[in-house]
Structure 1
Amino acid sequence: MDMNAYLSMFIDESNDHLQSLNENLLRLESEPEELSIVQSIFRSAHTLKGMSATMGYEDLASLTHEMENVLDLVRNSKLQMDSFIFDTLFKGLDALEAMVQDIVGGGTGKADVTTIISSLQIILKSDYAADNVSKAPAAAKVPAASSSASGEMLLDEFQSSILLQSIEGGHSVYHVQISIRESCLLKAVRAYMVFDLLERNGEIIKSNPSAQDIEQDKFDFSFSVFTICRLTQDELRDQLTNISEIESAVVTLLDAESVAVLSTSYAAASAEVMDTPSTSIIKEEKAPEVIHDKGKSASAAPAASTASTTPAAQGQSANVSRTIRVDIERLDTLMNLFSELLIDRVRLEQLSSEIKRTDLTETVEHMTRVSSDLQSIVLKLRMVPVDSVFNRFPRMIRDLAKSLDKKIDLVITGADTELDRTVIDEIGDPLVHLLRNSVDHGIETVDERIAAGKPEVGTINLRAYHSGNHVFIEVEEDGRGIHHERVLKTAIKNGVVTEEQAKGLTDDEINMLIFAAGFSTADKISDISGRGVGLDVVRTKISSLGGNVTINSAYGKGTKFSVQLPLTLSIISAMLIKLGSEKYAIPLTSIVETGIIRKEQILNVHGNQMVEFRNTIIPLVSLSRVLDSPDFNENDEQETEIVVVRKGEKWAAVMVDEFIGQSEIVLKTLGKYLTNVKAISGATILGDGYVALIIDPNALIK
Structure 2
Amino acid sequence: MEMSQYLEVFIEESKEHLQSCNEHLLELEKNPGNLTIVNEIFRSAHTLKGMSATMGYEDLAKLTHQMENVLDGIRQSKIPVTPALLDVVFLAVDDLEAMVESISEGGDGKRDVTEAVRKLTLIEKGESPDEAAAKEEIASAAVAEVPLKNTYDEFEITVIQQSMEHGFYPYEVGVTLREDCLLKAARVYMVFEAAEKLGEVIKANPPVEQLEEEQFDTSFTITLVSKEDRSLIEKAIMNVSEVVKAEALKISSDALRTPKEQEPKQPANNDIREKVQTLDAPASEIEEQSDNKETNRVKQGNSANKTIRVNIERLDILMNLFEELVIDRGRLEQISRELDNPALNETVERMSRISGDLQNIILNMRMVPVETVFNRFPRMVRQLAKDLNKKIDLEIIGAETELDRTVIDEIGDPLVHLLRNALDHGVETPDIRKANGKAETGTIRLKAFHSGNHVFIEIEDNGAGISRDKVLNKAIKNGIINDNAASALTDKQVYELIFASGFSTADKISDISGRGVGLDVVKNTIESLGGSVTIDSELGKGSIFSIQLPLTLSIISVMLVEIQEEKYAVPLSSIIETAIVRIDEILNAHNQKVIDFRGKVVPLLFLKDLFEVPSVKENDAFYSVVIVRKGDKMAGLVVDSFIGQQEVVLKSLGNYLSGAFAISGATILGDGEVALIVDCNALIK
TM-score (norm 2): 0.64
Inter-partner Cα distance in structure 1 for 2:115 and 2:132: 22
Partner of 1:686: 669
Percent identity (aligned): 52
Partner of 1:70: 70
Partner of 2:358: 374
Partner of 2:311: 326
Inter-partner Cα distance in structure 2 for 1:39 and 1:251: 22
Inter-partner Cα distance in structure 2 for 1:604 and 1:458: 50
Partner of 2:345: 361
1:401 to 382, 385, 388: 385
Structure 1 portions without partners, runs of 5+: 129-151, 173-227, 242-247, 253-306
Is 543-552 or 154-163 further displaced after alignment? 154-163
Q: Which amino acid aligns with 1:516?
A: S
1:664 to 644, 647, 655: 647
Residues 634 and 475 of structure 1, relative CA distance in 2, 3 Å threshold = farther
Partner of 1:188: none
Residues 406 and 318 of structure 1, relative CA distance in 2, 3 Å threshold = farther
Q: Which amino acid aligns with 1:419?
A: L
Residues 575 and 473 of structure 1, relative CA distance in 2, 3 Å threshold = same
- Please tell me whether residue 412 in structure 1 is matched to residue 380 in structure 2: no
- Please tell me whether residue 91 in structure 1 is matched to residue 94 in structure 2: no
Correspondence 1:302-341 to 2 at 5 A: 315-318=300-303, 322-328=307-313, 330-341=314-325
Correspondence 1:268-307 to 2 at 5 A: none
Partner of 1:293: none
Residues 249 and 51 of structure 1, relative CA distance in 2, 3 Å threshold = closer
Correspondence 1:603-622 to 2 at 5 A: 619=600
Partner of 1:459: 443
**Displacement after TM superposition at 1:49 (Å):** 0.6
**Displacement after TM superposition at 1:92 (Å):** 1.3
Partner of 2:104: 104
Residues 74 and 410 of structure 1, relative CA distance in 2, 3 Å threshold = same
- Please tell me whether residue 448 in structure 1 is matched to residue 432 in structure 2: yes
| SS of residue paired to 1:316 | helix
Contact 2:562 2:642 in 1 (8 A): yes
TM-score (norm 1): 0.62
Residues 623 and 41 of structure 1, relative CA distance in 2, 3 Å threshold = farther
**Displacement after TM superposition at 1:437 (Å):** 2.3
Is 593-602 or 482-491 further displaced after alignment? 593-602
Residues 483 and 336 of structure 1, relative CA distance in 2, 3 Å threshold = same
Q: Which amino acid aligns with 1:50?
A: G
Partner of 2:622: 636
Residues 165 and 594 of structure 1, relative CA distance in 2, 3 Å threshold = farther
Residues 609 and 533 of structure 1, relative CA distance in 2, 3 Å threshold = closer
| SS of residue paired to 2:311 | strand
Inter-partner Cα distance in structure 2 for 1:465 and 1:694: 27
What is the alpha-carbon root mean square deviation over aligned residues?
5.4
1:436-472 alpha-carbon deviations (Å, 9 max, x no partner): 2221222210111122333322222334456777655
1:367-422 alpha-carbon deviations (Å, 9 max, x no partner): 22322222222222333222211111111101111222211122333434433323
**Displacement after TM superposition at 1:82 (Å):** 3.0
Correspondence 1:161-240 to 2 at 5 A: none
| SS of residue paired to 1:108 | coil
Inter-partner Cα distance in structure 2 for 1:438 and 1:520: 13
Inter-partner Cα distance in structure 2 for 1:249 and 1:7: 28
Contact 2:626 2:637 in 1 (8 A): yes
Q: Which amino acid aligns with 2:52?
A: S
Contact 2:527 2:681 in 1 (8 A): no
Residues 599 and 554 of structure 1, relative CA distance in 2, 3 Å threshold = farther
Inter-partner Cα distance in structure 2 for 1:19 and 1:424: 17
Residues 483 and 655 of structure 1, relative CA distance in 2, 3 Å threshold = same
Contact 1:482 1:511 in 2 (8 A): no
Residues 601 and 515 of structure 1, relative CA distance in 2, 3 Å threshold = closer
**Displacement after TM superposition at 1:342 (Å):** 1.4
Higher normalized contact order (CA 8 Å, seq sep 6+, divided by chain length): 1
- Please tell me whether residue 54 in structure 1 is matched to residue 54 in structure 2: yes
**Displacement after TM superposition at 1:50 (Å):** 0.9
Contact 2:495 2:535 in 1 (8 A): no
Partner of 1:19: 19
Contact 2:595 2:604 in 1 (8 A): no
1:516 to 501, 515, 528: 501
Inter-partner Cα distance in structure 2 for 1:8 and 1:433: 31
| SS of residue paired to 1:689 | coil
Inter-partner Cα distance in structure 2 for 1:695 and 1:249: 64
- Please tell me whether residue 345 in structure 1 is matched to residue 359 in structure 2: no
Kindly tell me the number of residue pairs found equivalent between the two proteins. 546
Correspondence 1:498-647 to 2 at 5 A: 508=493, 512=497, 516-517=501-502, 521=506, 523=508, 525-526=510-511, 528-529=512-513, 534-535=518-519, 538=522, 541-542=525-526, 551-563=535-547, 569-576=553-560, 585-588=569-572, 619=600, 625=606, 636=622
Contact 1:575 1:663 in 2 (8 A): yes
Inter-partner Cα distance in structure 2 for 1:157 and 1:70: 18
Inter-partner Cα distance in structure 2 for 1:657 and 1:466: 35
Contact 2:59 2:110 in 1 (8 A): yes
Residues 59 and 521 of structure 1, relative CA distance in 2, 3 Å threshold = same
Residues 421 and 502 of structure 1, relative CA distance in 2, 3 Å threshold = farther
1:253-297 alpha-carbon deviations (Å, 9 max, x no partner): xxxxxxxxxxxxxxxxxxxxxxxxxxxxxxxxxxxxxxxxxxxxx
| SS of residue paired to 1:475 | strand
| SS of residue paired to 1:410 | strand
**Displacement after TM superposition at 1:358 (Å):** 3.2
Inter-partner Cα distance in structure 1 for 2:447 and 2:586: 36
Residues 564 and 642 of structure 1, relative CA distance in 2, 3 Å threshold = closer
Inter-partner Cα distance in structure 1 for 2:400 and 2:457: 12
Inter-partner Cα distance in structure 1 for 2:297 and 2:587: 55
**Displacement after TM superposition at 1:61 (Å):** 0.7
Residues 473 and 15 of structure 1, relative CA distance in 2, 3 Å threshold = same
**Displacement after TM superposition at 1:565 (Å):** 5.0
| SS of residue paired to 1:459 | strand
Inter-partner Cα distance in structure 2 for 1:622 and 1:510: 22
**Displacement after TM superposition at 1:23 (Å):** 1.4
1:76-113 alpha-carbon deviations (Å, 9 max, x no partner): 55555332332222121111112222333443323232
| SS of residue paired to 1:322 | coil
